[in-house]
Chain A
Amino acid sequence: MAATLCGRLLPKQGWLPLTQSVRHGSKAVTRHRKPMHILKQKLMAITEYIPPKPAAPPGALTPRVKPVQEESGLVLLLKKDLQTMFQDCKMIAVIQNNATNSEDMLLLKHRLHKHGIKIKFIPNQVMRSYLADSPYINMGPLFIGQTVLFVSKEPKVKEMLLSLRTSPQMVLLGACIEKILLSRQGVLNYAKLPSVTVVQGELVSGLTMLTSQTASMLQRHPTHLSLILQQYLKQQAPAGSTNGTPGESPPKAEETA
């Protein structure tokens, strides 16, 4: 230290040897690396010690197992609600909304409330986890993005479609009506169907048409019936003779007899 400092502190005049000492010709570092022969250098480089790499800690190799998150109370509550909803309501429609205003939403809600249709907002994750357990698993892919549920006890499809027509941003994706999954086309067709009583009436009338005709024929005078039967025989006979084969006409004569 004194040797390094002496270059600065030693003025040429005023040098007091008693207070300031200078080591002259003595070095601090005396052990230098001896020059090695190039071959020895190479040998030393080759035979250097490579320490063994420590094995990875046990926590790093095993894949991290995510602790299974228990569903929070809210999720469980929502799932219970969903269960009751699916059991009670006959119609559940899934609609995608592209940023509807709150005013529009209020209007829509009001319009639907008149027909007893409720609007429900349920997070997609909860919905999907519920549907995976329930028999409605095929509804799962519908719930991507912003979705709204319209639920009602009675399948009032026409009114729902009318109110949806007024709001262009709500897109009907699909519906589960009376436990049957329908696409948009299916919903439109369902809306065009007549009511159950009308369909039942049509079915009954179609089945009883023949019997009602025979009943009305029998109620008329029996000569009318005998005339009709004679006409029928005459029509059958020429048809059998014009065919030509004699084999055909005897079976026909047997049948009419």
Chain B
Amino acid sequence: MPSEIITLQLGQCGNQIGMEFWKQLCAEHGISPEGKLEPFAKEGSDRKDVFFYQADDQHYIPRSVLLDLEPRVIDGILKSPYKHLYNPENVYISKDGGGAGNNWAQGYHQGDKLTEDIFDIIDREAENGDSLEGFVLCHSIAGGTGSGMGSNILEKLNDRFPKKLIQTYSVFPMTNEVADVVVQPYNSVLTLKRLTENADCTVVLDNTALNRIATERLKKATPTLAELNQLVSTIMSGSTSTLRYPGYMNNDLISLISSLIPTPRLHFLISAYTPLTSDNTESEVRKTTVLDVMRRLLQPKNVMVTTASRDKNITHCYVSILNIIQGEVDPSEVHKSLMRIRERKLAEFIPWGPASIQVALSKKSPYVTTQHRVSGLMLANHTGISSLFDRMCDHYDKLIKREAFVENFRRLPMFKDNLDEFNDSREVVQQLMDEYRAATRKDYINFGNTQTAQITSTDPVSNTVDHVSVDRSVQLQHIIVDSSDPCKCTRTIKTHPWRSLAVILTSNVLLAHITTTPLIFRPRARIPSTARTSLTSKITTKPVTSGA
């Protein structure tokens, strides 16, 4: 049973969408809520063993681990008709049952304490399969358990299984209105750091967009949580359909992911699905051709993340697109649609490398009847996702400026001494946004390393370095300046050498060591925050005197 995938469901949100996901999978594979194969499920060309394994009595058991710090949601699952589906050994609720109180640090800390128990389950599950391909983690990044404990588990998973894929389905909180959890921006930013550094692929599910789609597409005034979760499960089952109904290609997770993610940090994917239906509404979509489906997938209103196509003078673009088309499709339809999309320039792509819309054809489940001939799912890597992070950071910055609500964090060991972790996470997110913005430009290929040459070769810059030499008494110096538009920096290089140096540094790598010329960049080095802040003020206050 090769390339198994283990699903980890964390926290309230994670367990809810996980639950919907398994419901959907059971329906698609003809498995009853008790895990028995339905008598009508005779057609055996699907692969159940990626997500299920068979118990001694031939029952199908999901490769799923349910984790929460409070019993409410999991209890709900265990009272539902699906109570016998899961392996009871894989259900873990923290003994004190108090939850994480929507506090990331609390979740992280508790996760730390429970590591042994949790990894007992995960290790057992991992050894259960022949060749584990990876993990799928469902969680929300706003609350306490999903974000905090999720972060902890992500770090440890990456440590323990360095060659296994870690994909997350992360629900991002609403950003356009007052949050129901006040510390949500903190939680999000702290989690985002782990998603950036420890996950291999994150499918971003933006609650704002989910709500919008549910109201617009499904004609619901106030969509219920169950309906939103159903949307998520549609995405999840759709994106795994080529694994479960294998065809010529894309039948392992890595082949799906590797074609979407060109460089390791740009791994936040947006998704779209069409046509959407719910049980009690007539779909407004009557006709589904491949072209219709592919065109609708590119429309922002169908995308499950609210992104801006332009911000701060940057035109955002697609890094890569993968369309999974389900249903009976004539291959010639696909290329006709591609041609049309290309002619009409419906999608803008990166300028620094080849990119196209990859298409994976997948069968439909024979047991689920749908009104539509063809349905499509898009997974895409779009630089516009940085605008979502941007909005989150805005909220975060407002809060952290006042150091609002940080007392709850200070109570826990990680934040006892200082709030470095906050700054660090914010920096990582900033780097991520910068990298996404850089990916819209032609010279992204050189992002990160080769611009040193440019700086050292220009005269004004070397002047600048001399200028910095005031602080050369400290052998290694760290400069950090809040980001400004990377586009501007190339223009300012001649007029304001001082500033330009700083700006260039931020646009490439946020941290730099300045020893003597030439400059050596060391990305992502850890530095004490005290040194940083002092230097920042120095640089910004220093007047430009060099006569370049």
Say whether A associates with B: no
Residues of chain B whose beta carbon lies under 8 Å from any beta carbon of chain A = none
